[in-house]
Amino acid sequence: MKYELVAGFETHIELATKTKIFCGCTTRFGGEPNSHCCPVCIGLPGTLPKLNRQAVRYAIMAGLATHGEIAKISKMDRKNYCYPDLPKAYQISQLYAPLSIGGYVELSNGRKIRLHHIHIEEDAGKLIHRHGDTYVDYNRGGVPLIEIVSEPDIRSIDEAREYVEKLQQVMRYIGISDCKMQEGSMRCDVNISVRPEGTEKLGTRTEIKNMNSINNIARAMEYEFERQVDLIESGGKVVQETLRYDDATNTTSPMRSKEDAHDYRYFRDPDLVTINVSREEVEEIRASLPELPADKCRRYIDELGIPEKDAQLLTKYRKISEYFDAAREGVKSPKTVSNFIIGQIFRRTETESDKEVFDVSVTPEQLNELVKLLDSGKIRNNLAKSTLEKMLDSGKGALEFISESDMGGLDEETMITLCRQAIEENKKAVEDYRGGKEKALKALLGNVMKNSRGKADAAAAEAKLKEMIG
């Protein structure tokens, strides 16, 4: 029997606010243990939380960027569970009235992965286990998170990969998180079940935690899919449980002990008040959002004539598309700009993280200047390409490498002069050509190019020569 994978994601994303969600401590990564803390974020008795406005705004941005509906009234709840990394023994989160409801992430195959909701909550501290002892650091405790909860709409590992990549891309675009899985600023839990292909009923699901890269997510899901299928095929039953992925062994194993009871006893946090989000504010935030990558990609294809594959590359990271947009300002052919970026500049930004930062020695304005020289016919393509390399090496502008004499030689008068000179110096070739030897023109053309010191446009010169001797 063939089985189908069914998966849903719970994705935690650390918001890029300057301060924690309920106090003024910095959210900066690292630092001495327990040095980014205050009475509020270590939960000293008597302290009270105060909600960071920016965290709410970022969460609304995330909701809008994933086509969610922003709740008019949203509330904070307490999720009660006792664990050393949680200093109040409850996490302030949202269950009954989250900030964003519904929405979706669209994949390249056209399928829409529906979102259940997005809510805000606080992060827990960090535990280090050493020789059986537990060391607790609360620097991360209270860093604002959003949790994006999807419906179980994912049907393959590839879709899972793309879903995570798309979320990462969108959240980075709107600037609310750096979404670094390795540093833990983006963390995914996957709910996974299997069912015989063609059937509707959902199987029993397991939840996998502790995967710190997209590749790990894919491997863990692959392993878990096989495990569940084998279990069912051999007459067993999948048990609903939480599993930890171990990337060293590429296996999953049960995570919680029976000490951990499962009843979170959510209730409204009496220390915090209602969040009312006015429709004006939603529209103001919507208007402030940058164009989303999917929309931008579509526009590059439809309006600028960029091939789909190139458009995707240009929109993968916000910095690249911003670079492209600045560099194509007022040029005749955006595709030329795109070609320079994808062809030459990408060779200098090889890794994904280089591409994400896109810190290029040539400014988009400098590239724009170069392309405009090309547009105006003042230089030709080969010269432009080699000049761009020199620019990338040095960070200097195009005019540093192209002399006055390199340019302007292509005006009509000069072209005619050069062609006349070539005709006079190659009488034999002219006769051969007139006699029907098409190839003879090559010698004439070579002469023109040589005398123009490479500035002449070959096609234009050929046309002019034909006109003059034909």
Which spans of this chain sit near another protein (rule: CB under 8 A)? 17-19, 22-26, 32-39, 42-56, 78, 80, 82, 84, 87-90, 128, 131-138, 259, 261, 263, 265-268, 270-276
Give, in order, the Cα–Cα distances in Å from 398 to each of 43, 344, 458.
Answer: 59, 15, 22
The least distance separating another protein from the CB of residue 41, rounded to whole angstroms, comes to 9
- Residue 259 or 413: the one with the smaller Cβ distance to another protein is 259
Q: How near is the Cβ of 139 to another protein at its closest, in Å?
A: 9
Structure tokens at 407: 């340019």
Q: How many residues does the chain have?
A: 470
CA distance 38 to 21: 13
DSSP characters for 253-272? EE---TTS------EE-TTS
Residue 212 backbone dihedrals phi, psi, to 5 degrees: -110, 20
CB of 129 to another protein, least distance (A): 9
How far lies 340's CA from each of 18, 290, 320, in Å? Answer: 37, 24, 12
Q: Identify which of residues 215 and 267 has a Cβ nearer to another protein in the complex.
A: 267
Closest approach, Cβ 403 to another protein, in A, equals 52
Which residue number, 95 or 231, has a Cβ lying nearer to another protein?
95
Q: Nearest CA to 79 among 48, 139, 122?
A: 122
Strand bridging mode 206-211 / 242-246? parallel
Euclidean distance between CA atoms 144 and 305, whole angstroms: 41
The owner of tokens 């090309």 is 374
Rounded Cα distance, 413 and 417, in Å: 6
Q: How far apart are CA 179 and CA 170, in angstroms?
A: 10
Q: Which is nearer to another protein, 35 or 421 (CB)?
A: 35
CB of 36 to another protein, least distance (A): 5
The rounded distance, in Å, linking the Cα atoms of 69 and 286 is 12
- In angstroms, give the least distance from the CB of 117 to another protein: 20
Nearer to another protein, 41 or 444 (CB): 41
Nearest approach in angstroms of CB 86 to another protein is 9
Which residue lies nearer to another protein by CB, 4 or 271? Answer: 271
CB of 73 to another protein, least distance (A): 8
Q: Which is nearer to another protein, 41 or 370 (CB)?
A: 41
Q: How far is CA 418 from CA 181, 197, 209, 465, 466, in A?
A: 61, 73, 72, 10, 13
Smallest distance, another protein to C-beta of residue 207, A: 18
Residue type, 357: V
- The candidate with the shortest Cα–Cα distance to 35, out of 149, 140, 189, is 140
> For residue 162, which of 224, 112, 115, 108 has the smallest C-alpha distance?
108
Q: Is 205 helix (H, G, I), strand (E, B) or coil?
A: coil
From the list 14, 6, 10, 13, the residue with the least C-alpha distance to 209 is: 10
CB of 267 to another protein, least distance (A): 6
Which two three-digit tokens encode residue 106? Answer: 């669209």
Q: How far is the CB of 50 from another protein (least distance, A)?
A: 5
Collapsed DSSP state (helix, strand, coil) of residue 388:
helix
Which of residues 69 and 135 has its CB atom nearest to another protein in the complex?
135
Specify the residue, 16 or 208, whose C-beta has the smaller distance to another protein.
Answer: 16
From the CB of 336, what's the least distance to another protein, in Å?
Answer: 42
What DSSP character marks residue 32?
A: S
Name which of 213 and 274 has its Cβ closer to another protein. Answer: 274
Pick 135 or 236: Cβ nearer another protein: 135
Nearer to another protein, 267 or 466 (CB): 267
Closest C-alpha among 16, 13, 103, 97 to residue 292? 103
